[in-house]
Each structure stands twice: as C-alpha cells, then as structure tokens.
C-alpha cells in the first residue's frame, strides 16, 4: 500500500485525516513539532491514538528542519504529501507575526523543496477561507479574487497558494489546495470559539460576543471536512504528473449567525451564557459562506452534520475529556 506523508499530524485536522487514511490501509508518516500554541497534552493524545495503528510512524520535528525532513523522506518511500502544518489563529498573528512567516511561508517552501528533490509528484495542502477577506459576493467561489487579506494569517495562506502554484508550473508537481472553513468537533482546538464558550459557560464566566453577534460563519463538522479531503485525495491520485494546480473550498455551504451558534451551545450545555457585546475585532470578517460547487463536481461531497448534532458530539466528548483530565 502507498505511503502518505502528513505534516501537522498532531493537529486537529491532521489527526483525523491521518486516522482516516490509516483505516483505509495506507501507511502514514506523521510529522509535527508539538508546539505549545495550545495544550500540548491534547496533541499528544492525538498522536497516542494514531500510534495504535501499525502503519503509523511519527517524527517530532519542526517543519523548517531540513535534516529531519530529509531523514523522513530517505527512510520512507513517500507517494503523496498532505501538508497541514501551520501556525493557526488570527489573533496570535497580531502579536507574533514572525511565527506565521516562518511556519506558514518558509515551512511550505521547505515542503515544496522536499517534493522537488525527491520527485514526489502529488502535494495537497491546507489553505483557508480567510484568503477571501471581506469579499463583496455573499457566496465565496474559488474563482473570486483573493488579493486583499485582512489578517497576517490570511496573507500567509495566500502566499502558500502562490508558492505552490509556482512550483507546480516550474517543476511539474501536481498541487491541490483546500480552503478550509470554520472546522469544529471532538478533539478540536481549545483556542476556537466553541471550546472557549463551553469553558466560560460552565465556569459561569461571561463570553465576549464580537461585532454584537452580527457575524456568520460556515461551521463545518470535522467528519464532513475529512470526507471532503478524502474525496479530493481520491480525485487527486488519478491526476498524472503534469504540473496541474487545483483549489477547492471545503465547507458546509450553510453559514450560521453567531448568536444562533451561541444559542445552540447554550441548549446543548443546558445553561445560558452571560454575554458581553463587543465591537468587531481587527482581522475578523463579517461572513464566510462556502460555495462548494467545485468540490461536488469532482467528488461526492455532501456535508451531513447540522450545527446542533455537531455541537452535541463535541460536548459529549468535551465532558469525557475533562473528566479524565481532572
């Protein structure tokens, strides 16, 4: 069976993608630096779960460490790369911009060079809905202009798209970008709003509601997103090495207003949140709404999880996780 090299394998999406491919019989080489952007114990929990699979090998190393990348590529015969390692979060980019340049731009360059040196012909990578900025169009299509990002995080993701496109054109690599929308679910990220809201509500602490709740997000449950990644992976594998470049949105195609999202969390937890209404934050956009026409054109992508069911699954896991951690 073929081997997939997955960067960011200790991350939220990376863990689930690695697990799904292992369950399909692929060998997976995971790569992650286990940084402390959020609780490292959660990242170790994900890796421990992956290490239960015989065909999983893990490298704890930085994405910019050429020696470690070379070691992994020399030992394992890599057929495909799924590059998911990134410094996430819009807020953090305002205070630690150098981390985003190093990890998201230089790190992607290192992966592209690895593919070039080792003649790895297929590279999938994570982009973000943030590249659209404050688009005038309600529905975000992949063919819209993405030259006006409103955060440094978005700018680094746009830079990744340009870098990958250039390497595809110059070196014959096949590249496929995935613009992820707002992903949530069990084993998720503690820095995301749904997790923070749960923490605050249970501790009877007020939650901050930015832009007075007048924001919409295309919340995408993790299982639906992974279905999209796997569908694109199957499509991508069939492409011959010819320097092709494709990009797709992966979202639910069903934006939810922030106040509706909060109300649903309150219903799931069974407790009303104390709310502090705040102005819009720097770097935030008012609405994300994924046009998923293109991904549905090439694979049978059909998001099935509504926001109530998804948050219930998250909260059931969250309670159990915190019980074990107590």
Active site (catalytic) residues:
153
139-to-201, 208, 216, 253 alpha-carbon distances in Å: 32, 27, 12, 9
CA dihedral 158, 159, 162, 163 (to 10 degrees): -140
Q: How far apart are CA 131 and CA 127, in angstroms?
A: 8
| Helix and strand counts by DSSP (H, E) for the chain | 12, 13
Q: How far apart are CA 19 and CA 24, in angstroms?
A: 9
Burial 84-96 (b: 16+ CB within 10 A, else e): bbbbbbbebbeee
Residue pointed to by tokens 């063919």: 143
314-to-10, 98, 110, 268 alpha-carbon distances in Å: 18, 32, 34, 10
Q: How far apart are CA 178 and CA 190, in angstroms?
A: 23
Angle between helices 107-117 and 152-171 (to 10 degrees): 10
DSSP 129: G
Work out the angle at residue 312's Cα, subtended by the Cα atoms of residues 311 and 317, and round it to the nearest 5 degrees.
95
């Amino acid at each position: 069976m073929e081997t997939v090299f997955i960067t960011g394998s200790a991350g939220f999406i990376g863990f689930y993608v690695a697990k799904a491919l292992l369950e399909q019989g692929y060998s997976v080489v995971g790569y992650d630096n286990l940084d402390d952007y959020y609780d490292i114990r959660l990242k170790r929990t994900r890796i421990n779960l992956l290490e239960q699979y015989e065909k999983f090998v893990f490298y704890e190393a930085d994405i910019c460490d050429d020696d470690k990348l070379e070691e992994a590529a020399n030992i394992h015969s890599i057929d495909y790369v799924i590059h998911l390692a990134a410094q996430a979060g819009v807020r953090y980019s305002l205070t630690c911009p150098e981390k985003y340049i190093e990890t998201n731009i230089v790190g992607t360059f290192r992966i592209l060079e690895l593919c070039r040196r080792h003649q790895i012909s297929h590279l999938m990578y994570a982009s973000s809905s943030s590249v659209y900025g404050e688009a005038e169009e309600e529905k975000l299509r992949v063919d819209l202009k993405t030259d006006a990002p409103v955060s440094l995080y978005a700018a680094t993701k746009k830079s990744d798209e340009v870098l990958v496109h250039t390497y595809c054109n110059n070196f014959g690599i096949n590249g496929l970008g995935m613009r992820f929308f707002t992903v949530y679910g069990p084993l998720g990220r503690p820095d995301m709003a749904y997790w923070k809201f749960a923490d605050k509500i249970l501790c009877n602490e007020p939650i901050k509601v930015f832009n007075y709740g007048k924001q919409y997000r295309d919340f995408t449950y993790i299982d639906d997103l992974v279905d999209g990644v796997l569908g694109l992976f199957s499509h991508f594998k069939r492409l011959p090495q010819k320097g092709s470049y494709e990009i797709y949105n992966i979202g639910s195609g069903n934006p939810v207003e922030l106040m509706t999202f909060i109300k649903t969390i309150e219903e799931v937890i069974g407790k009303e949140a104390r709310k502090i209404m705040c102005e819009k934050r720097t770097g935030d956009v008012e609405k994300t709404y994924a046009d998923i026409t293109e991904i549905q054109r090439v694979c049978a992508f059909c998001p099935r999880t509504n926001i109530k069911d998804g948050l219930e699954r998250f909260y059931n896991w969250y309670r159990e996780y915190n019980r074990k951690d107590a």
